[in-house]
Structure 1
């Protein structure tokens, strides 16, 4: 199952992705990253639970 979780740790926003990042939800990933960047200049994306990422997922990042 695909998921996006966000948390703030020591002034940084961490976005944790899980599942497969592909065309079906890469726009949601992009929106999450852009939203986090609008709130903070310190953003990290954790990909340890991502099992697959296609070119649209890479473009979203």
Structure 2
């Protein structure tokens, strides 16, 4: 369970960060699934939320693992 939370947290962190980069740098597309998770017009807030959720999921896994 701890490793699953760690992996999921890592994917959300990287996905949110790549979404922020694709918002700021046109043409940068690394993870395509994050566009489905974030509503149109709210990209900055949505990708930032993904990064925060990823950190919140990865922290307990890192502390106990």
Q: What TM-score do the two structures reach when normalised by structure 2?
A: 0.32
User: Which structure: greater strand fraction?
Assistant: 1
Which of the pair is proportionally richer in helix?
A: 2
TM-score (norm 1): 0.33
Q: Which structure's CA Rg is the greater one?
A: 2
